[in-house]
């Protein structure tokens, strides 16, 4: 079932909500530049085992409204808060992939983890997607500025190039086209604006230390987008956390090792 939740006067977010009667809600925040459909291989399985799966299209992406502004982690976390309140959710397992993981971490810090009982970080873009003088991991700053420039110049080509670094395992041409279409549904300005946030955002280093709930970190060792040392930094920064490496995945572990991801979610959520 899909519907819209109003988060600002002129902004509504699309929400896919499966198995609404369940009292085991899992709220999924997608990565850049996709939308909630990237979790198709989780939504195929989890509801049949009694879980309520809620997928949000962040502002600017998928079926949600695409305003010109509002793409900071603070604003995106505020959107998540409004959805949680609107749906009257309690004891949520919050799952974030890539940039969605960064948004989830900001939510935990900004709202003191309210309404969330467990956190799952899938290839999360934290504590920093890019290299910094005090954090020599992640992408080079110029790699991200190149993505932003290509977004404005030839966004389909940029998305195609990004797809090539996203997966470690070989994907079929139909799957590649499906994944490409997830990105093309976004607005060009929101695609670029979130990438700009990667460059500016440094507070996640602090945010990690505020998280006190059980946290599961799942990360592909071959990840070329959010390099594996980011996961190790998350493990070090979040006291009550467990890191599980995925030996046969890049950034797209939600598909590349989908059965293992689902099994780890079953085990962690209970």
Domain boundaries of the chain, sorted by first residue: 2-269
Q: Mean pLDDT, to the nearest integer, of 213-217? A: 98
Element (H, E) at 118: strand 116-122
Of the candidates 97, 219, 227, 251, the residue annotated as catalytic is: 251
**Two tokens at 48?**
């049949």
Query: Is residue 223 annotated as part of the catalytic site, yes or no?
Result: yes
Of the candidates 57, 65, 78, 223, the residue annotated as catalytic is: 223
Three-class secondary structure of residue 102 per DSSP: helix
Element (H, E) at 266: helix 258-269
Closest C-alpha to 193, from 96, 76, 97: 76
**Predicted confidence band of residue 164 (pLDDT cuts 50, 70, 90):** very high
Within 10 A of 216 (CB to CB), how many other CB atoms are there?
20
How far apart (Å, rounded) are the C-alpha atoms in residues 14 and 59?
9
Q: Mean pLDDT, to the nearest integer, of 161-186? A: 96
Q: Domain spanning 2-269 has what CATH number?
A: 3.40.50.1820
Residue 243 has pLDDT above 90, yes or no: yes
**Predicted confidence band of residue 1 (pLDDT cuts 50, 70, 90):** confident
> Cβ contacts of residue 182 below 8 Å, gap of 6+?
33, 34, 35, 37, 38, 62
**Two tokens at 68?**
């010109």
**Two tokens at 164?**
């090539």
pLDDT in tens, 2-61: 999 999 999 999 999 999 999 999 999 999 999 999 999 999 999 999 999 999 999 999
Of the candidates 78, 79, 98, 249, the residue annotated as catalytic is: 98
> Cβ contacts of residue 236 below 8 Å, gap of 6+?
none
Element (H, E) at 231: helix 228-237
DSSP 124-193: ---S-SB-BTTB--SB-HHHHHHHHHHHHHHHHHHHHHHHHHH-SS---HHHHHHHHHHHHTS-HHHHHH
Length of the chain, in residues? 270
Q: Mean pLDDT, to the nearest integer, of 236-247? A: 97
Burial 2-21, CB ≥16 within 10 A → b, else e: eeebebbeebbbbbbbbbee
Residue 263 has pLDDT above 90, yes or no: yes
How far apart (Å, rounded) are the C-alpha atoms in residues 199 and 195?
7
pLDDT in tens, 59-84: 999 999 999 999 999 999 999 999 99
Strand 11-18 to strand 52-56: parallel, antiparallel, or no bridges (unpaired)?
antiparallel
Closest C-alpha to 252, from 170, 189, 193, 195: 170
Residue 172 has pLDDT above 90, yes or no: yes
Q: pLDDT value at position 95?
A: 98
How far apart (Å, rounded) are the C-alpha atoms in residues 89 and 265?
19
Strand 2-8 to strand 11-18: parallel, antiparallel, or no bridges (unpaired)?
antiparallel
**Two tokens at 256?**
């590349």
Write down the mean pLDDT value for the chain.
97
């Amino acid at each position: 079932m899909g519907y819209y939740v109003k988060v600002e006067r002129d902004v509504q977010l699309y929400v896919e909500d499966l198995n609404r009667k369940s009292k085991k809600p899992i709220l999924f925040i997608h990565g850049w530049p996709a939308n909630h459909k990237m979790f198709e291989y989780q939504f195929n399985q989890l509801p049949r085992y009694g879980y309520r799966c809620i997928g949000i299209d962040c502002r600017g992406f998928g079926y949600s409204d695409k305003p010109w502004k509002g793409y900071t982690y603070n604003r995106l976390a505020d959107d998540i808060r409004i959805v949680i309140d609107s749906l009257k959710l309690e004891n949520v397992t919050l799952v974030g992939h890539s940039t969605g993981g960064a948004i989830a971490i900001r939510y935990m810090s900004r709202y003191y983890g309210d309404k969330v009982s467990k956190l799952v970080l899938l290839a999360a873009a934290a504590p920093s997607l890019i290299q910094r003088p005090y954090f020599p991991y992640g992408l080079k700053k110029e790699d991200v500025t190149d993505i932003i420039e290509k977004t404005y110049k030839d966004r389909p080509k940029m998305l195609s190039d990004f797809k090539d670094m996203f997966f470690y395992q070989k994907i079929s041409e139909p799957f590649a086209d499906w994944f490409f279409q997830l990105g093309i549904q976004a607005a060009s300005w929101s695609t670029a604006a979130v990438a700009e946030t990667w460059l500016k955002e440094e507070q996640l280093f602090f945010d990690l230390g505020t998280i006190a709930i059980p946290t599961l970190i799942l990360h592909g060792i071959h990840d070329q987008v959010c390099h594996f040392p980011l996961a190790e930094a998350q493990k070090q920064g979040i006291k009550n956390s467990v890191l599980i490496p995925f030996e046969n995945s890049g950034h797209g572990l939600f598909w590349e090792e989908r059965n293992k991801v689902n099994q780890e979610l079953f085990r962690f959520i209970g």
